[in-house]
Structure 1
């Protein structure tokens, strides 16, 4: 009965796996087209790697067994043709076949590499800064108002006369206009939550006090840098791993296809607390992201 329950759990478990699990051997479930391409390319590679590996081990076995000395050494030496030095046919075969296999591997890899570097006009920008040992995030397009006043915020269906007011849409009828001249770019630091402060259901060494919030099905540009030493911003479900280098700004693009909470970690050894730099990204609907944006705009933590 236990065996049937065990098999049924894996057969009928259709929930997405966006965090590492015990005894996990494969990839996390993809949430971006890039990660889907990486998994497809991995499966494509295994078609060639497995037969080549089996053939190489078989060839080693044949060489070790056929050419090993057994019994009388003199008798074994006379069994081989001393004038046999090379085979043109064999050399052509073992040159052409590997070259053909490498070509079959290279073509899809070039397409994947090109798509990873392709940048589509983004609707949102997220700036990531690595520190010892935490992450800082900035939303250049998302603002924050420290003090509410008639000059800083207007709720109306009609735009104000001042040109420096910006608009946040909350739907077809509701709009908020805020003074971009007095607002600041939204930014915050994200630290790992200590084990003694974790709530039930939280993941050890992976939960943070402030999560990154991003909208689904939106082209996002991610800018990554560091303030001190080398870091690396990596989220497996996104198929993203970007080095954070001091004095340099690296860029990548992101398009998340579904909502969820995604976990990652710093993937570049950066000091004694390198293992305590988790990354948590919460992907919500576009409408929920607008609500979150308005909450941040008015300094409310939502």
Structure 2
């Protein structure tokens, strides 16, 4: 999902750069050439151009934007469903597809962190998922509104008390992916990070069996 968002950002930015160069060139021409404005501001042809061209540009931007919105809302048949519950101020995770696996995920305090831990981002129990698998995330909250957000995966979804929201993620490589609560949920709002560890599906099955 984040790859698609990056492609759309580059696509739109390129269009904006071309528009900025064109408008800038027209402004400079009108400032330094007193005859230019007659051809730019008068005539049926130029009026048709600056009416039709912006409409075409908006269509070129809107089509990929609508496609991405559709992909974000689409929930494919998931291989795994994980429930995330926001608390003040930590996350709980439930794997209900295999057997009842539940654990809490707290931020590692600065005094207890090792050299290989990421400051204010690493947790004691990571959310372990297999890569190259469609994963559905169900999220809710036990107290106030939280927001489960992992920018590198293009995911940001509210965790609302008494309601289940869902989204999906698909990770195409192994690694660690960090996020944080993106809703101001109280005094320790900035101390409830999210850490996702994507591993090989074979190792994931072994991890499930070992719990």
Q: What TM-score range do you get, normalising by the shorter chain? A: 0.7 to 0.9
1:229–1:66 CA distance, 2 compared to 1 (3 A): farther
- Please give the alpha-carbon distance, in whole angstroms, between the structure 2 residues aligned to 1:239 and 1:117: 13
Alignment of 1:167-186 (within 5 A): 185-186=100-101
User: Could you tell me which residue of structure 2 aligns to residue 80 of structure 1?
Assistant: none
Is residue 2:32 matched to residue 1:36?
no
Q: CA deviation at 1:87?
A: 6.0
Displacement of 1:278? 0.8
In the superposition, relative to structure 1, how do residues 56 and 231 fare at CA in structure 2: closer, same or farther (>3 Å)? farther
Query: Does the alignment pair 1:192 with 2:107?
Result: yes
Match 1:106 to one of 58, 62, 68? 62
Deviation of the 1:286 alpha carbon: 1.1
SS, match of residue 55 in structure 2: helix
Report the Cα offset of residue 135 of structure 1.
Answer: 0.9
CA offsets 1:68-100 (integer angstroms, 9 cap, x no match): xxxxxxxxxxxxxxxxx9765544332221111
**SS across alignment from 2:75:** coil
Query: Equivalent residue for 1:226?
Result: 141
With over 3 angstroms needed to count, the CA separation of the structure-2 counterparts of 1:88 and 1:133, relative to structure 1, is: farther
Counterpart of 2:199 in structure 1 is: 284
Higher mean displacement: 85-94 or 215-224: 85-94
Alpha-carbon distance in 2 for matches of 1:111, 1:238 = 18
Alignment of 1:243-262 (within 5 A): 243-262=158-177
1:58 deviation in Å? 4.9
Residue in structure 2 matched with residue 48 of structure 1 by the alignment: 15
Query: What is the rounded CA distance, in whole Å, between the counterparts of 1:51 and 1:35 in structure 2?
Result: 25
C-alpha separation between the residues in 2 aligned to 1:266 and 1:55?
Answer: 42
> Where does structure 2 lack aligned partners over 5 or more consecutive residues?
35-40
- Kindly indicate which of the two structures has a greater share of residues assigned to helix: 2
Q: How far has the Cα of 1:62 moved from its partner?
A: 6.4
How many Å separate the matches in 2 of 1:229 and 1:109? 32
Q: Normalized against structure 2, the TM-score is what?
A: 0.87
Distance 1:56 1:213, change over 3 A: same
RMSD of equivalent CA atoms? 2.2
2:118 aligned with 1:203, yes or no? yes
Structure-2 separation of matches of 1:195 and 1:60: 55
**Cα deviation code 1:47-71 (max 9, x no counterpart):** 101122334455566677889xxxx
Structure 1, unmatched stretches of 5+, are: 1-33, 68-84, 144-184, 297-302
Q: CA deviation at 1:275?
A: 1.3
Q: How many residues align?
A: 205
Which whole-Å CA distance do the structure 1 matches of 2:157 and 2:149 have between them? 6
* 1:131 is the counterpart of 2:98: no
- 1:290–1:105 distance in 2 versus 1, CA, 3 Å: same
Larger radius of gyration: 1
| CA displacement at 1:124 relative to structure 2 | 0.9
Counterpart of 1:121 in 2: which secondary structure?
A: coil
Deviation at 1:117, TM superposition (A): 1.7
Query: How far off is 1:289 after superposition?
Result: 0.8
